Amino acid sequence: MTRAAVVTGGARRIGAVVARHLHALGFDIALHYRSSADEAVRLRDELCSAREASCEVFQADLDDMAAVTALAQSVLGRYPALDLLVNNASGFAPTPIDRCTPAQFDAMLGANLRGPYFLIQGLLPGFAAGGSIVNLLDVHIERPLRDFNAYGAAKAGLASLTRSLALELGPALRVNGVAPGAILWPEDDAAYDARAREQTIAQTPLARLGEPEDIARAVAFLACEAPFITGQVIVVDGGRGLAG
């Protein structure tokens, strides 16, 4: 029987690679996007050309609670039995403490913690026994990134939620996290200018960037091959966390 997976922020970058990888493993994909409509439609068409009617796209701003509720209802209307939710969608922006506004703080909290929380709540009625939730976290919850304090706090909250829900939702559901290190650089230089990038690579024992496929494989492992693992976070950083 075909399995169904929801991938948030799945239109591009790591999310798109996760969606492709899960699709290749036989999952039908509920592909969420916020603003990348063209990329989402192209990916849907790509996946459906490989296997007919195997992907649907769903638009929502996860910082909007009404939109999160509507998203959950739309997904369950199309996929009444869910096997996997990958909370990949994320907001990433600097919020220096001396000038962060409440709106900026709330935006980081909404995209990275509140949105995933209430999406899980909304999708709970559709999860099959033995289902799985995988939250995409960040190594910077342990190694703070200067000026990204609200982002880091929200991701740390999502890590805590991962452990809490593993207790609350077991044994029917497993809840785990994947914390990427340097996989893809941000699309601007707000956090990683050329010097920061060189330093990051120099301090990584494997001496290179990771690949989005590394994250996709970790997600698939937790979802498909780890029936006795819950409440855990797999760090995928090439050993960067060992550098001190």
- Considering only CA atoms, which of 21, 65, 42 is closest in space to residue 222? 21
Q: Is 173's pLDDT higher than 80?
A: yes
Structural domains of the chain ordered from first start: 3-236 (3.40.50.720)
126 φ, ψ (degrees, to nearest 5) = -95, -5
Active site residues: 151
Q: Is 8's pLDDT higher than 80?
A: yes
pLDDT tens-digit map of 175-206: 999 999 887 766 655 556 677 777 777 777 78
Q: Is 181:238 a contact under the CB 8 Å cutoff? A: yes
pLDDT tens-digit map of 133-161: 999 999 989 888 899 999 999 999 999 99
